[in-house]
Structure 1
Amino acid sequence: MSAVATVDLWVDEWAREANCAGQDPEALFVRGKAQHDAKTVCKTCPVLAQCLAEALDSRTEFGVWGGMTERERRALLRKRPDITSWKSALRAGMASQAR
């Protein structure tokens, strides 16, 4: 009988590890094309999933969070109304990928 190790890559205190930590926060609260430019900060962020989960679970309306604009987050919330905890869903997804 073999044991499967579970790896938990989730970071609860994620904000200080974000690529945007220490940068001007206003750069992520822009409109139009500038939002897509702001998303480039998120592309290699080590805590992208945690940031996105926070924004989705708290229904954050403004700014770029977790690599998504407010419009993209609203569309995702409409598409998946069955998900009651994005933190749980994204954390489980990370764990399954780590195996």
Structure 2
Amino acid sequence: MSDQPEPVAALWEWQFQGLCRTTNPDIFFHPEGERGPSRRRREARAKAICEQCPVLRECREHALAVHEPYGVWGGMTEEEREEVYRRSARPRTA
């Protein structure tokens, strides 16, 4: 086992296995002004693809680590990730 850091390219290898690579990216990112039922349907389609993806965990971890502001990543919408950020920023009480 080496103490050398993993090459940057290797850190991104998981992306080559993502099902999103073979899907129209418009499913994962909302167009300007999309709201309500249209947005919920598109997000549900994106999340259904994510649920089958072999790298869902890696994708989600990446999106949360970099605070990805746009799109469905790792089966999570922008709003769902924002909720995770808010919860983790709250002070914990005993």
TM range (shorter): 0.5 to 0.7
In the alignment of these two chains, the number of paired residues is 72
Deviates more, 1:65-74 or 1:23-32: 23-32
Q: Which has the larger radius of gyration?
A: 2
Query: Normalization by structure 1: what TM-score?
Result: 0.64
- Calculate the aligned-residue CA RMSD, in Å: 1.9
Structure 1: which 5+ residue stretches go unaligned?
1-10, 83-99
32, 38, 50: which one aligns with 1:42: 50
* 2:17 and 2:55 in contact (8 A); partners too: yes
Structure 2: which 5+ residue stretches go unaligned?
1-9
Query: Normalization by structure 2: what TM-score?
Result: 0.67
The structure, 1 or 2, with the larger RCO (C-alpha pairs under 8 Å, 6+ apart) is 1
Identity of aligned residues (%): 36
Structure ranking higher in helix proportion: 2
Q: CA deviation at 1:80?
A: 2.1
- Structure 1 runs of 4+ aligned residues shifted over 4 Å read none
For 1:76 and 1:42, locate their aligned partners in 2 and report how far apart those are by CA, in whole Å. 18
66, 72, 75: which one aligns with 1:64: 72
For 1:19 and 1:67, locate their aligned partners in 2 and report how far apart those are by CA, in whole Å. 12
